[in-house]
Structure 1
Amino acid sequence: MSGIDPTFMGRVSTVSGASVTVKLSESLASGLSIIDGHTYRVGQVGSFVRIPQGYQDLYGVVCEVGASAAPKTLDAEDIETGRWMRVELAGEAIGSQFERGLSQHPNINDNVHIVTEADLKRIYGGKGDDQVKIGSLSSAENIDVRLSLDALVTRHSAILGSTGSGKSTTVASLLRSIVQPDGNANGSPAARILLLDIHGEYSRALADMSRVFSATPQPGEEPLFVPYWALEAGELLDFVAGGLNENQEIAFTDKIQEMKAARIALEALPGIDPQSLTVDSPIPFSLKQLWYDLIDFETTTYVGQQRDQPKLEQVGDPATLTPPRYTPHAMGTAGPFLNSAARGIRRQLNLMRSRLLDRRFDFILHPGPWEPDLDGRVQADLDTLLQGWLGHDRPLTILDLSGVPSNVLVRLIGSILRIIYEALYWSREKTEGGILRPLLVVMEEAHRYLGPESGNVAADVVKRIAKEGRKYGVGAMIVSQRPAEVDETVLSQCGTLIALRLSNPTDRGRVKGTLPDNLAGLMDLLPVLRTGEAIITGEAARLPVRCRITTPSTEHQPRSSDPAVTEAWAHRRKAEGYDRVVASWRAQRTTAVAKSVTIKREPVVDFPEDTEVTE
């Protein structure tokens, strides 16, 4: 059979655990083989082989080719032929059912065959399975590569690659393949995917299937708001008031607790019991009123024999952040006297006022219809916020964070993730929860907030999602160009790894550390992968595979291409005004203008054809 079977490659020479050494056949004259009209590359690192075992077939991936793959016990002259190949076994198939892992091992001199298109269909299953097509085999472009959608979402995943390796295009292609494979109506139209877009790359690429929320919305986008009162008190105070010691923090939290209790007494809210109210309960309260009450207490001066009569000169206004004015204290026995119970938080209150007046932070401190009035009433509650993010008629939500100031970006990401995870965690028994309708959270530029020693709110929430999210229907997709700067705990919980080109040895070492020892050799290919080519291993891939990711059409590609340097530098340009540059810098908004231009438009009236025009 071996003499006439075009798929025959060689025979098993040694078996050690899951590693198999194969001696290639002398009849294998070239690295190409044509089988049933399809061309296959033979003996390529990353390609597949099949070892028949009667009714059962074993499948493996080629990890090493050449003399170095030969058994160490052979004579030098046998090794020098170089016709050797090391294969790592990965799974087996009985009939049409493929399963990862091994129930038996091959024997010496067993035949080894090329894996053909029919074999791959056997592995990946039919159209009725949960398989999502994402590209084609690098060693055989006619064979589709598919991933298990269930494993991709519930067991988490990571897309890793250096700048320019095709990371953003891979993310866009993968999300499009999940929702609208091949551009048709099949797929997952009821998917629920949330994409944190740090650089504003995906709004154009996925506009036809997404709803976009932005801190600096463009036409067709909706404003992004994150209500401050939905955050934990500690993270909110850390942002608006800076560093606080224990006594100073108690001054703030006691007042917040009091204001939240007053809000519940004013009007009952569904689900909250006054006896179980905590300072972290997501109850609306006014930051302006909080600031006013605390600054009033800190600056009050008293007169009178008992020093109990406030010496107020002018009442302030919390709505405009105008503080009350008291007669300054004086030395001696006549007064006025300072408030001896003051907590010494005037500096922190000044910072809070500055934050509230800074228009860059309106998306969190003045969150539109979610901004409470001075009594704590709001026009819209958190259900409207979650409905907008997760319950609209499109499968994808893009949160464009490119207009968010860098000093608050990490805190904002942590707040968004905490709001979403807490909501889905506590609603896990309801139809809107994560179990009956799972959520996939895609986190771009994850290394910016998931460092090993970051210790921020975002890192804490993502670790919780990575460890527990599977149970509650919340999946994570980590996207990063620096795997070495991503927390090892988070990366180790990613069941599926999509590794694009990585040149840095430290980054490659981190990726290797997440794989079994027998597959680590595959990662030696990372520096030489082409743009848009990836090595995929883990739960969603039934076999480790070297894959060429499908490239979306031009109008559906993310806005992450390199600048056209040659074209931009080819022609001399006129002197430009940089006043617009400074205006955008000051406004922290890319669309800001230096001069407002008003154009008066008037309709143009044409003369009728039969009307003579006289000069």
Structure 2
Amino acid sequence: MTKSTINSELLFGKVNYIDANSIQFEYINNQHEPIYFGGNRYGKGEVGEFVIIESQVNLVLGRIIEIKKDDLAKSNLEIIGKVQLLGTIQMDTLRVSAGVDYYPSINDLIYSAPHDFIASIPQKMQKDAANITLEIGSIDLDQSCSISITPEKLFGRHLGILGATGGGKSYTTARILEECLKHNSKIILLDPTGEYAEFSDSTVTNVHLASPINPARGSIPISIPPECFEETDFIALFEPAGKSQGPKFREAIRSLRLVELLKIKKLHEDFIEEDIFKKIGRLEENYKTAIRSIPDRYLLEMPNTKFNPNKLCAQIKEEYTTVSQNFYKFDEFNFNHCLSLLTRINGIINSHTFKFVFKENMLPSFADKILSFYIDPTKRLLRIDMSAIGFEFKAREVISNVIGRFLLNKARQQSFTQKPIVIFLDEAHNFIGKSIGNEDTLAKLDAFELIAKEGRKFGLNVCLATQRPRDITEGVLSQLGTLIVHRLTNDRDREIVERACGEIDKAASDFLPSLQPGEAVIIGNDFPIPLTINIKKPTIKPNSEGANFQKNWA
């Protein structure tokens, strides 16, 4: 045991009651006046303060959760407090472990825990020393006792950054990004608001979708080509009516896949006209012959087989046929039932929102950019600016799901085992647990849910930042091994965090509404002892400020 852990100057109380989860204490000779010791302020018995209980066998770490005057019917009105028991400190090594090995006894002494010791708890809870740590904050406001956490503890089982608007969530995200950039990391940031555009040094690759108003310096426009979509994406996006339009829509996709395969093999080019498979006025046998000529016929049914969606409307018309004397004849009556679908397809394909999908095929593909970023040893952060993507047609949800699915498929192919990737998804409540389409074409946008469930096995980890935890599915929240929780004032938000994370109980969650901006609690599988820290301000500040009325209305 070292002098810095137990110091007589920080003594303030003794145990007078013990139960399974907590102890009660009384002050010794009214020694509960706050003091400054070693340059730091100690409350010596204030609510929220970490304390050390000196028992006969070991040291017990706790946190004061209640102070009150005892029996009001008595005249002496003795002040007592309640301490939640958090963990055990080994006297010889000062190693910290969750849970209580030996309970304190009556009259055991209680000390304020030194700030530098509390700051070192993340290191004291791991067995081996780490070469790479991320300094994200400190235990006190003067930043003298900094807290550093290993990437394994922070990202190893996925990270969640939660907090109400104005609580400091964006600053925390920026701070962690800065710390990651100091090391040979691989980070992909999906930025739906453009607030991280200031990250633009030589280790950062900035790309953007659509046309943001304020792109980052040197940002490159990219596209998401249609071949990155799957059949279910198009069905959910275009919403063909189940019985009248759905079968013809699927037949059109199959015919367009056939066109692509015929062009690759240079077969039956006379069956193809303006990149569609011509049926109306042609022999029925042509279609059967074309299919028989494809050696890899299973590709016609594969959901990720390439086809040209810009030709969907023309090909759908070719599917409305009847057979007369072995020739296809146009079925105008039934085709009229499909006009609403054609209108929707034309509206989406020609919309500005999806321009970078259907009309900008000369731009670099996002898939190529991700792969080139991964193999470039000089690049550490790939920021994808999604701020210019519109909200109509659920475009943002669809695009983020396409990106997430691409990364998950690459991870399943063991592409990221040499160097793990961490995906930062800001405003995650807008993308997690969503679905598109009507009841006939419903498709779950679950790429990031699958990453949370299985990605870490393949070197793909995720960091979700959100101010609405209640909109994130509990299944995803429960997969987040570490949570950095800023102020949460909504009861439902706090309840969902309690249910999703077994390491935080009612006593700990009661502190969440009173956290100051920039203050956060770290909890999770690797942090069974919740720590309240002050996040260090990032050098590169996110552009998350609202309008300055004092300046602009003066």
Given residue 36 of structure 2, which amino acid in structure 1 is its aligned partner?
A: I
Q: In the alignment, which residue of structure 1 is the partner of 2:276?
A: none
- Cα deviation for residue 549 of structure 1 reads 0.8
Q: Distance in 2 between matches of 1:458 and 1:226?
A: 20
- Alpha-carbon separation, structure 2, partners of 1:495 and 1:135: 19
2:325 aligned with 1:287: no
Q: Quick one: distance in 2 between partners of 1:479 and 1:504?
A: 17
Segment drifting more, 229-238 vs 206-215: 206-215
Q: What's the CA shift for 1:381?
A: 7.6
Native 8 Å contact 2:115 2:145 kept in 1: yes
Tell me, in whole angstroms, the C-alpha distance in 2 between the residues paired with 1:132 and 1:143. 14
Find the aligned partners of 2:198 and 2:345 in 1 and give their Cα distance.
Answer: 37
SS in 1 for 2:105: coil
State how far apart, in whole Å, the 2-side matches of 1:58 and 1:425 are. 44
Q: What CA distance in whole angstroms lies between the structure 2 residues aligned with 1:117 and 1:539?
A: 23
Pick from 391, 395, 402: which aligns with 1:415? 402
For 2:424, the equivalent position in structure 1 comes to: 442
Match of 1:479 in 2: 465
Tell me the residue number matched to 1:145: 147
> Secondary structure of the equivalent of 2:31?
coil
| Preserved CA contact (<8 Å) 1:9 1:114 | yes
For the pair 1:161 / 2:159, whether they are aligned, the reply is no
Shift in Å at residue 206 of structure 1?
5.6
Given the superposition, is the C-alpha separation of residues 345 and 381 from structure 1 closer, same or farther in structure 2, using an over 3 Å criterion? same
In 1, distance between residues paired with 2:328 and 2:38? Answer: 99
1:363-378 to structure 2, matched below 5 A, reads 363-369=356-362
Aligned match for 1:564, one of 509, 532, 548? 548
Equivalent position to 2:412, from 415, 418, 425: 425
For structure 1, list consecutive stretches of 5 or more residues without a partner in the other structure: 181-187, 268-272, 311-336, 371-379, 571-615
Aligned residues: 506
> Could you tell me whether the CA contact under 8 Å between 1:233 and 1:279 is conserved in 2?
no
Q: Which residue of 2 aligns with 1:490?
A: 476
**Higher mean displacement: 390-399 or 225-234:** 390-399
Give matches, 1:195-206, under 5 Å: 195-205=189-199
Deviations 1:205-249 (A, max 9, x none): 465642221122535101132122122211123224654544234
Q: Does 1:531 align with 2:534?
A: no
Q: Distance in 2 between matches of 1:122 and 1:343?
A: 72
What is the CA-CA distance between 1:95 and the residue it aligns to? 0.4
Change in 2 beyond 3 A, CA 1:292/1:469: same
Residue of structure 1 in register with 2:389 after alignment: 404
1:137 and 1:145 in contact (8 A); partners too? yes
The structure-2 alpha-carbon separation of the partners of 1:383 and 1:505, relative to structure 1 and needing over 3 Å to count, comes to: closer
Superposition deviation, residue 15 in structure 1: 2.9
> C-alpha displacement at 1:36, in angstroms?
3.4
When the two chains are superposed, the root-mean-square deviation of aligned CA atoms in Å is: 3.6
| Identical-residue share of aligned pairs (%) | 23
Alignment of 1:11-410 (within 5 A): 11-30=14-33, 32-53=34-55, 56-67=58-69, 77=74, 80-93=77-90, 95-120=93-118, 122-125=120-123, 128-138=130-140, 141-180=143-182, 188=183, 190-205=184-199, 207=201, 209-215=203-209, 216=211, 218=215, 219-240=217-238, 242-245=240-243, 246-259=246-259, 261-262=261-262, 265=265, 274=296, 277=299, 279-280=301-302, 282-298=304-320, 306=325, 308=327, 338=331, 345-369=338-362, 384-388=368-372, 390-392=374-376, 393-407=378-392, 408-410=395-397
What amino acid sits opposite 2:523 in the alignment? T
Q: Report the TM-score when normalising by structure 2.
A: 0.80
Amino acid in the other structure paired with 1:199? T
Shift of 1:406: 0.4
Where 1:250 maps in the other structure, the secondary structure is helix
Instruction: Give the CA deviation at 1:546.
Output: 1.4
Paired with 2:356 and 2:258, the residues of 1 have a C-alpha distance of: 25
Residue identity matched to 1:446: A
- Contact 1:537–1:543 (CA under 8 A) maintained in structure 2: yes
Alignment deviations for residues 95-149 of structure 1 (CA, whole Å, 9 cap, x no partner): 0533333433333332222221453365333984553211111477422123332
Contact kept? 2:87, 2:96, Cα under 8 Å = no
Q: Distance in 2 between matches of 1:130 and 1:262?
A: 53
1:325-363 per-residue CA deviation (whole Å, 9 max, x = no partner) reads: xxxxxxxxxxxx646896954432343233333333121
**SS across alignment from 1:368:** coil
C-alpha separation between the residues in 1 aligned to 2:239 and 2:75? Answer: 74
CA 1:346–1:522: 2 relative to 1, 3 Å: same
Determine the C-alpha separation between the residues in 1 that align with 2:169 and 2:87.
27
Which AA in structure 1 matches 2:447? V
Length-normalised TM-score, structure 1: 0.73
Provide the C-alpha distance between the structure 2 equivalents of 1:15 and 1:367, rounded to a whole number of angstroms.
69
- How far apart, CA to CA, are the structure 2 residues paired with 1:77 and 1:517? 38
Q: 1:443 to 1:509 in 2, by over 3 A?
A: same
Q: Distance in 2 between matches of 1:3 and 1:57?
A: 9
Q: How far is the alpha carbon of 1:288 from its aligned partner?
A: 2.9
- Contact 2:132–2:151 (8 Å) recurs in 1: yes
User: What CA distance in whole angstroms lies between the structure 2 residues aligned with 1:171 and 1:290?
Assistant: 42
SS at match of 2:353: helix
Q: Which amino acid aligns with 1:49?
A: V
Structure 2: state its 5+ residue gaps.
268-294
Mapped to 2, the partners of 1:309 and 1:284 lie a distance apart of 26
